[in-house]
Amino acid sequence: MIENPYAKEAEAHWANEYRASVKRFGLLTDEQQAEAVDRGEQVRDELAALFNAGAKATDQAVQENIKAHYEWVCLFWTPNREQYIGLGEMYGQDPRFTEFYDKKANGLADFIGEAIRVWSEENL
């Protein structure tokens, strides 16, 4: 299983959800887990490319990638509208997430957060 550096923090804040997520992800084979990690990277790279090309959070291609991001998140946990918007906000507010996303493009974390808000309001 892939090691999560935030496991203790997540369990302390969201014990039930964390345990369910670990169980859900643990049902995947090692190959499926690796594919899931790769898919997350692919979605981030695609969003970074769109952001760098000047796309807006509301653009169709961005929204299609946010749908893919939501589907990826659902491998671990299925958030409702408010939770998914909150996750997007956290990308720009928690320096660890901001660094993770912004290393692909400065401002990407906030861009993804805005795109998540737009997608969530229309789809969740």
Write the pLDDT tens digit of every residue in 29-56. Answer: 889 888 988 999 999 999 999 999 999 9
Write the pLDDT tens digit of every residue in 53-111. Answer: 999 999 999 999 999 999 999 988 899 999 999 999 999 999 999 999 999 999 999 99
Q: Is the confidence at residue 6, as pLDDT, over 60?
A: no
pTM: 0.84
CA 37 to chain centre: 11
Q: Which CATH class is domain 36-123?
A: mainly alpha
Q: What is the DSSP string of 44-76?
A: HHHHHHHHHTT--TTSHHHHHHHHHHHHHHTTT
Question: What per-residue confidence (pLDDT) applies to 8?
Answer: 64
Domain boundaries along the sequence of the chain: 36-123
| DSSP helix/strand/coil, 74 | coil
